[in-house]
Each structure stands twice: as structure tokens, then as C-alpha cells.
Structure 1
């Protein structure tokens, strides 16, 4: 499950993590946009639920210096030895440049360089290196983790997917349908033992299809008009279905862009239906080759009306029996 959950203060997440664990969820994965940072929700989970595995999906490679990113990862790996995975990625110009006042230059090479730095630094090595996009002089972690965390790479198109396969411990996929997974995995080629495929999957567990599709359209027009995601979906073959949305967006017609997204695209990218139907749709990602399908829970009318009790029931229905937990 993606954490923290919307609308619930971090101080109240102890009950959320307990419910997730009881329902059979194995992992909690954070993100980092404009809400909570990537590490704080996981630090709380490390203390409150010692069975849950923790992961960032993702921490941007531009918004922290390499040394600070290594320190944050090492601290969490020390707090939760053997159950933390660091996911990194380029993020986007809006988050990096517009919100964090950092230049968004050469995202592929910056991501590659940070990946190489982190793998060495988290092993406790002294890094004294001139990379293509930055230079580090004699950096050594004072508290290297006893169990260095795996470093996973967020990837969309072939170049980054191949980099993940060649140099990372896994790949993180985002904004793709279950039927798209084989296309992405084909770029990875033969994977090393232990290499993990993680995918974030948007889930709106309601039978109110109009609500789910309206929310899905807002998300799709907000994300898939970003150049990197637009290029990704063109590569996946959605030029015909999403072309009208991109054209309306480029013309400044935000409402028209949302209206141009076909139901079939919304339904493929934002899963909805009863909780049990959503779980069945998530399982299709696993069947297609995803090792860690990570639900990103979206707002529903039922949650708005039912509050904490509705959330507890929903988590239980989205989970698996403990006997099935792997």
C-alpha cells in the first residue's frame, strides 16, 4: 500500500499500519511530491510494525544532495535492517525546478550517477569520484547500514529500463495498465536473481463508476500531459486514444482535455469496482510479471461517508488472508 493515506494525520497512522499488517499487506511504499517526504512515514512504520517491508517510490535524485540522500537511506536501513528498499528516480521538472528551485538538467545521466554513488556509499565505501553530473570528494557514511538496502530505479522508457536492468536491484513502474507490463519488462531482458519489479497501481474501490472515472480523468490529465509520461504512453501505443487529450491540453483547454480521455483508458489505468474486483484487477499485474504490486488508494464516496470504520473495513477487504501472505 502507498502511504501515508490521504486525510489521516501521520500521528494516527499507527492504526493504519496495524490494519494493513493484519490484512496481510506485506509492504508500505511512500512517494514524494508535495505532501509528506518519502522517509518520515516509513520511519514511523519501522517503529510501529516490525513485519512490514518499507520502500520509497520514489525519492527524486535532484532534490537532495547525494550525501544527504545516502544518509537518509542509511538511517532508515539501520532502523529497519533487511526490510527497506530505496527507490530513486528523476521525478519531473515541475517538482524539481518549479517547486524546489533546482535545475532539471540531464535527468538520465543524473539518475545514473546518483545510482552509482548510492550503491558505493551504502556499502560503506569512501566515494571520491567525478561523475558526469556532479563531483563527490571523499564522502564516507559514518553509520553505514549493516544490511545495505537494495536500490531500485523508477523507469518508463527503454533507456531507463535498460539502466535499471544493468545496474539497479529492481525497477519501479508507474502509470501503466496490466496489459502494458510485458512491453516494459521486455526491455529489461534477462534479470538477475533477486531483481524486483515494483508497480504503483491506482485503485479507487467504489462501484460508483462515474465518481471513479471523473477522478481518474483528472489524474490522467494532470500526469500524462507531463512530457515524460506523454512520451511513455506514445511508446506504449496510445497516440490514437490520448492524442485528443494532448491536443486539447496544448491548446489550453483543460476541461476539453479531461473530456477527451476515453473510458477504456481510465478503466485500464485507474482500477475501480468493489474491493474484491479491484484486488482481482491488481492480481493481473502480478500475473503479468510484477513482483510487488503497490496499491495507491484513491478517495471514494464510501470512505467520505463512513470515516475510520469504513477505512478499516476497506483495508481488510483489499488484503489477503494471513495464510496467503508471502
Structure 2
């Protein structure tokens, strides 16, 4: 007897499967056939499809977090800039009402700068204190006097640590340029016009146009000799430079506090230049430079230089 005949005989034909059993068996068989016929690529695609939603949500979460950081940063910077603009324009309004110090016929308007600047070599900078006294006579066309204590470095004119120079209209070092390097009468008395006046003189210097405008305005203001009306216009002009912010209660080198007006220059690794002003008079009482990154021994956000500026009327000059 062959095996096929034996198998048939052992089958019980009297017991037929139910329709439900047939349906369940057919479904199981088709499912197994589908799984056995699936290629590795198909399996990977299925796994990939299962992970895709998770990956998509993860990427979306990271993007949302980065967007949130940028949005918060932009909002914070906008708020700081708005505060600085409001403060500067308020200071400009106050300055117009300030009674300037006016020297008599035999007196001088003296601007004293006590500065702590760095002496740098190839690897490091060390602080060096200097004193600069500029004496402007009642008649600006008359002879001005500069007294300068260079501290631990030799002076430019004599090679000595102490220098005294005299020159008509403040042309101490260059017959073409005065100490203040501007005729105050040329400064427009309207803030917007003063900004346009400064911006129109841009010739490609500094790391950016905004930095150059900021530096040229603050160079004029830090002389300590600018009349109130022009000073007010320049403060208003500062408020129009993008990125300018304000920091309250900043002390100058002599410990006098004021509001620091500055901006971070991204093209200089975030280095920040500031002038410290008295918001009631608009006078610059000092300057400060803050590092943006590690530089010549300074860490991030460290003080690189600091000055104190004071304007008074005196009877004599050296």
C-alpha cells in the first residue's frame, strides 16, 4: 500500500469544517503568504514608515525650539533698542534746556579725560592710565592748550611721558584736523537731519556703516565741548542707529554713574563700544569697551577700556 492511499484512508470525511473555520484559515494562509513574499526592502520600508512620524515630530520640535530662541532674541533686542531710543530722545529734550558752561574772556572750558587704555603687544594687553586736559578758550579761534600725561608710554610729540601742546583751534597733532575735528555750527539742530548729515559722510570705514556712524557721533560727543543744542541733535541721531541699546547705572573710571549707550558689532565678534552719558545734561561722562569673545587675554564680556570725562570752567591753562 502506498503512502497516498494510507493517508486517504486515515482521513475522516464525515467531519466537514465549519464556514467560520474556513474563513479564518483562509485569512491566516493569505497573511502568511504575504509575509513570506515580502522582500527585505519592503520590511525596511515598513519600519521606515513607522519611524517617519517620530522623526518628523523630532525635527519639527528642534526647528520650533530654534525658532523660539531666535524670536525671543529678536524680541529682546527690539525691546532693548526701543528703550535706548526712548531714553536718548528724552535725554535730547532735557539737554536743550541745559545751560551750557560758558568761560569768561580770560577763562577756558576744560575737558578732562581720565583714561585706562590697554598697551598691547602680540599676545597680551596691559592697562595704562592717561590724563588728557583740553583747554578751549572763550574765543575758539584763539590758542587752545593740550596737557597730556601718557602714563607708562612715551608721548608722540616729545617722546616724554608728559606733553604740553598749543595750537590755534585745537590743531595739536595735524594742521588739517582739529582736536574735535568738526565745526559745531555745521551740525544740524534736528535729530533726523543730524543723522542724515553723519550718514552722508560715510566713506567705507569701520566694520559696518552703522558702526562707523556710531563712532563718528560719539567721537564728537566725547570731546566734552559740544554746545547743548548740537549735543541734543547728536543724541537724537544716535537713537536712529540700528542695534543701539542702553544700560543703566554704569560707573565711569572715577565712579560717576550714568547710562551707557552702545552697540555690539557682530563683525568684530560682538565687541561693544559705549559712551556713558548724564541723561539730564546729555554730556558724555565716560567711555567703555567690552569684549565680545576671548581676545588678547580678555574673556567674553570683559571690560577692555574705561574712561571718565569731566567738563569744567577754569581760569588758567598750563
Query: Scaled by the length of structure 1, what TM-score is found?
Result: 0.25
Larger relative strand fraction: 2
User: Which protein shows a greater Rg?
Assistant: 2
Query: Scaled by the length of structure 2, what TM-score is found?
Result: 0.25
Larger relative helix fraction: 1
